[in-house]
Structure formats: C-alpha cells, structure tokens
Amino acid sequence: MEPTAVVTCYRHPDRQVGVRCQRCERPICPQCMHQAAVGFQCPDCASAGARRSSVVPVRTGGDEVVVGKVLIGLNLAAFVLAGLAAGSIAGTSGGVFERFVTWGPFVADGEWWRLVTGAFLHSGPIHLLMNMFLLWLLAKELEGALGHLNFLLCYVVSVLGGALGVMLLSPNAPTLGASGGVFGLMGALVVLQLRARQNPWNTGIGGLVAINLVITFTLPGISVGGHVGGLLAGAVAGAVVQPRSWPQTSTGVRTGFLVLFGAGVAAFAVAAATALAGDVV
C-alpha cells in the first residue's frame, strides 16, 4: 500500500491541510480560509473577488458560466419565437404558448413536457428581463462553484419543483416564466451557504429571498405555487449537491440522488395534475 501524499498550505508549508480554494484549488489552512459564496477561497482570490460588486460578496466569475448562458439564450430564443407566432411581444397567445405553457389539464392528458417548457416562456419583455437578470447573477455565484452538470441539475429540479407547486395550487391556470427555476437557485444558494457555516443575511441572499417572497404573496398575477415550489425544490438540491471545492467522497451518489429526486418531483407533478386539474373550458 503506497503512502498518501501530504498536502500543505501554499502560504504555510509547515501546515498539513485538507481544504482547497474553490477558485484556484490551491491548498489552504484555516488561517488562510476566506468564506465565499460556497465553500472557501484563498486570500488572493478573496481579495480579487472583494473588488467586484454582487448580490452576494464573492462571485465565481462570468467566464465559468456556460450553462447559465445557454439557459438565458434558450429563454431569449423562445421569447422571440413565441412573439412571432403570437404577433406581439407582449401577448400570451399563439401556437407556441398554447402548445408549451405549463397547464394542468394538458399535463394530465400526457403532455408532460409542459412541466419544463413553460419555464422558457414569458409574458413580456419586463418579465423576461427580470428573470434573466437574476438567473445571470445566480449563475455567476453557483455554476463555477458547483460545476456545469450540478448547476444544470439544480436548475432543472427547481423548474420541476415550481411546476409541482403550480399543479398543487393552481393546476387550471396557464403558467409561464423562469421564476420557479430562479427561486430554486436562490434556495440552493441559501442552503449551500448554511452548509458552509455562512449567514445568508450577511451575504445578501437572505434579503433577496425575503423581498421576492413578499412580492410573491402581495402582488396579483404571480404564481405562488411556482415560486414556493421552486424555492423548496432548490433548497433540497442545495442540501444534496456537492460543490467542487468540498471533499469528493460521494459525488456520484449525490448526483444520482439529485436526478432521482427530480424524477420523483416530475412524477408527483403529473399525479397532482391528474388528480386536481379540470377540463379546459
């Protein structure tokens, strides 16, 4: 049996360590650890991150956002296509909306894709831009820390959680928008910060969630089920997913469990639509 190599802090070679910076992956000791959005960073990376403003103090960097850019591009493309089909950028009618919006009676009839496709449609430019702005900020915080696959899984699970909330609370109302996925990413970030022993209220994400929940429950025309369902599903995803900088002892198991959880949420959403949705009038 070969001896295990000893890893020491890059700033203090006399100290054996087991934690690496989430950005540059250099080994760091407790004295050199700086709390980041998820996990810890070395003093050099923390100093560079502190010079940039963000919803939470430290970003992982836009250069690491790949899935987030693809998701934003898909939302933009869907908005253009839906607008062309409807003949108006502010309308919610037309063939694209009718075929792909999240709507319980059609989900119950076997059109299961609506659980996901509705998350790529928006009712107007403001609706789209607000969701894409938050998606971009959250992708910059999470994708680099989690990796592309885990970030995508968190988003898909959040979208499905939002669809489940819709099927439970308002299955007969056509629902659209990326808000469920965005709320889920906020929930995942809160839980990941708590797992890293950080205070979400100090980083700003706690206040962002609180403000958006107040808006959800006070303004008309907002899907409470979509927002709350996405938030809760994303929080579960944050409890399960494994950030890249943390010990990788069970990454495959955690990823597999996240996939199974997403499949279970989708199945539950279909069952809820079957049980609760009425006929289309």
Residues acting as catalytic residues: 179, 227
| DSSP 8-state assignment for residue 175 | B
Helix 251-276 and helix 224-240, axial crossing angle in degrees, nearest 10: 160
User: How far is CA 115 from each of CA 103, 137, 158, 199, 224, rounded to the nearest angstrom?
Assistant: 8, 24, 11, 33, 16
Instruction: Please give the structure tokens belonging to residue 20.
Output: 């690496």
Yes or no: say if 212 and 260 are a contact pair by the CB < 8 Å rule: no
In whole angstroms, what is the distance from residue 95 CA to residue 82 CA? 8
Angstrom distance (rounded) from CA 168 to CA 162: 10
Side chain identity at residue 197, one-letter code: R
User: Within 10 A of 127 (CB to CB), how many other CB atoms are there?
Assistant: 18
